[in-house]
Structure 1
Amino acid sequence: AVRGALRAGPPRRCVSYGLGRFCSCPVARRQLALLLLLLDELGVPPGQCFVFDPAFTEQELALLGELGLRLLPENEEGKHRVGEAATLFYMIHCGKALYNNLLWSNWAPRALARVVIVGNSFRGIEERLLSRVLERDYSYIAKVLKGTEEIAFPAHPDYADTFNDTSIHWFPLEKLKELSSEVWECAEEPTYEECEDLEIIRREEGGSAPCAAALQP
């Protein structure tokens, strides 16, 4: 399903947010195992997989380095631009603001067409939130719904707490082009000033420019 989602070209990069404390948490450990399997299946070199979670311990950072994965230098809050490379974003059970920020950072049809997200179901987010809250706090999720293709992970009793509410999302260029021009004209950076349950760890005050895909060697 991930291969089918990347019609713009095979993925050359992966960005993983929010893996969690995998040394002490079995759920996080299984999510890491799936990430490694996906990299192998898709042919993405470990050195082109960038990871970040502010909860990582020094031991976990060292283990990720031994696996060949690379640590993002700062907390991007999900504001990562894909550049020219099709990119898989692996962000299971992350906060809604992280997805919203990622969409904002790539808010153009050709950029979004190079984005594939393995993470919380956008349909589920839409179903659980009042429309006015979704449009106010997570406007980029709300605006992209009609341009999104989504396949839910199959349910498995052994992994109910590991991959629940998880889907693969991609954004076909032909569907994005069908959205009205007004959708693309408004592209203000999200602030979440009225959000009552912001599920994201904010970085310290500093530059706000999204991290470009120039992390590639």
Structure 2
Amino acid sequence: MSEVLCSFENLQLEPSQQSVMKPSSHSGEPVFKSSHLRCVCYGIGSFSSCVISRYQLAFLLLLLEKLQIPKSQCYIFDPLFSELEIGVLNDLGVTVILENEEGKHHIHEVTIFYMIHCGKALYNNLLWSNWSIDALSKMIIIGNSFKGIEERLLARILERDYLYIAKVLKGTEEAAFPVHPQYMDIFNDTSIHWFPLQKLKELPPEAWQFQEEPVYQECDDLEIIRK
């Protein structure tokens, strides 16, 4: 956990957001002003039946505690949640999203998106919903490595099916999760991504002009459950 939290110290937020971060504690872990920080969790899966999902949920709860994010400011959704699981999440104090947003969640304040092993379309939809310098500079994504996505897909497929991932790559900073043999299946290929203001400003103007909603008509392996 300490290695992951240290990555947050290096986030280059725009000047108006610097007040979100307090000075580091004596332990070297950054401390955030909880009133300014939100968390959205997608795709954690059925934690009542899947051990991996339980580990991911446990890490999420620990992350909220360490970053001092009120549980009520953590919004969580998975189409696989049962009524029992929704009840457990309500008892834990997090806010369950009842509608499938397909990742199209627009933000106005600094928000951590916790999206372990989600489908590429979910990340792409999230980026599209926040396709502006202002919104992206307020976003932190914990999820599948964008570098890994770029390496595994042909460039023409990436640009055709997941255009917003392709366009944001040069505006992204990425820090890989530390590798631990005990948790390889839980956090493999996971990175923290953030989008420094200066890097976003260096993207070509035409990158911001095309803002059509993704439709995935030619995508053969859409990895999300749609509405």
Question: Residues 6 and 86 of structure 1 are in contact (CA less than 8 Å); yes or no, is this contact kept in structure 2?
Answer: no
1:119 aligned to 132, 143, 151, which one?
143
Question: Residues 112 and 139 of structure 2 are in contact (CA less than 8 Å); yes or no, is this contact kept in structure 1?
Answer: yes
Partner residue, 1:182: 206
Identity of aligned residues (%): 62
Deviation of residue 73 (structure 1)? Answer: 2.7
| Structure 2 Cα separation of the partners of residues 165 and 6 of structure 1 | 23
Partner residue, 2:10: 4
**What TM-score, normalized to structure 1?**
0.91
What is the alpha-carbon root mean square deviation over aligned residues? 1.0
Question: Residues 112 and 142 of structure 2 are in contact (CA less than 8 Å); yes or no, is this contact kept in structure 1?
Answer: yes
**What TM-score, normalized to structure 2?**
0.87
Partner residue, 2:119: 95
| Structure 2 Cα separation of the partners of residues 37 and 48 of structure 1 | 14
Higher percent of residues as helix: 2
Query: Does 2:40 match 1:40?
Result: no
| Structure 1 Cα separation of the partners of residues 85 and 175 of structure 2 | 31
Structure 1 segments of 4+ aligned residues over 2 angstroms from their partners: 2-11
Name the aligned partner's letter for residue 96 of structure 2: L
Question: Residues 107 and 130 of structure 2 are in contact (CA less than 8 Å); yes or no, is this contact kept in structure 1?
Answer: yes
Partner residue, 1:19: 44
Deviation of residue 59 (structure 1)? Answer: 1.1
Question: Residues 77 and 98 of structure 1 are in contact (CA less than 8 Å); yes or no, is this contact kept in structure 2?
Answer: yes
Deviation string, structure 1 residues 99-155 (Cα, Å, up to 9, x no partner): 000000000011100000000000000000000000000000000000000000011
5+ long unaligned stretches in structure 2: 1-6, 21-35
| Structure 2 Cα separation of the partners of residues 115 and 55 of structure 1 | 25
Partner residue, 1:78: 103
Deviation of residue 43 (structure 1)? Answer: 1.2
Deviation of residue 12 (structure 1)? Answer: 1.6
Question: Residues 12 and 197 of structure 2 are in contact (CA less than 8 Å); yes or no, is this contact kept in structure 1?
Answer: no
Count of aligned pairs: 202
| Structure 1 Cα separation of the partners of residues 137 and 47 of structure 2 | 31
